[in-house]
Amino acid sequence: MPWFRNHYVCTSCDGHWLAEHAEAMEADCPHCRAYGVAPYRSDDWTCVIEPLGKGFVVLECTRVNAHGPDYKRRKRFPTREAAQEFIKSRAA
Ligand SMILES: [Zn+2]
């Protein structure tokens, strides 16, 4: 299931903030309460790479509960590059 880290800049107060959501959604400014600020950037965190032993493991967000995303281990790779290739091939 998709998971994103969204980056926001409020044009009303120049406030910056980050928030994680299941989509690249608009949000209200936590500083001045401006309504419906669109993210200027969204990082796709559906799949993330973590070091594990001598290699790397790809984690995929399988569901989202009240505490946030729940990641499950998908596959191990000897290098970070191989893990990135795996994620790219899934997105294609
Ligand atoms: Zn603001």
- Centre of ligand 1 from the C-alpha of residue 17, in Å: 10
Write the pLDDT tens digit of every residue in 22-43. 999 999 999 999 999 999 999 9
Residue 68: per-residue pLDDT: 87
> In this structure, is the dihedral angle defined by the CA atoms of residues 70, 76, 81 and 85, taken in order, positive or negative?
negative
DSSP string covering 14-34: --EEEEEESSS--B--TTT--
Domain ranges for the chain, please list them: 4-43, 46-91
37: helix, strand or coil = strand
Per-residue pLDDT of the chain (92 residues; tens, 9 = 90+): 999 999 999 999 999 999 999 999 999 999 999 999 999 999 999 999 999 999 999 999 999 988 889 999 999 999 999 999 999 998 77
Residue 67: per-residue pLDDT: 87
Is residue 77 a contact partner of residue 83, using CB atoms and an 8 Å limit?
yes
Structure tokens at 37: 């600020």
Written out in words, the top-level CATH class of the domain with range 4-43 is mainly beta
- Centre of ligand 1 from the C-alpha of residue 9, in Å: 8
User: Who surrounds ion ligand 1 at CB < 5 A?
Assistant: 10, 12-13, 15, 29, 31-32, 34
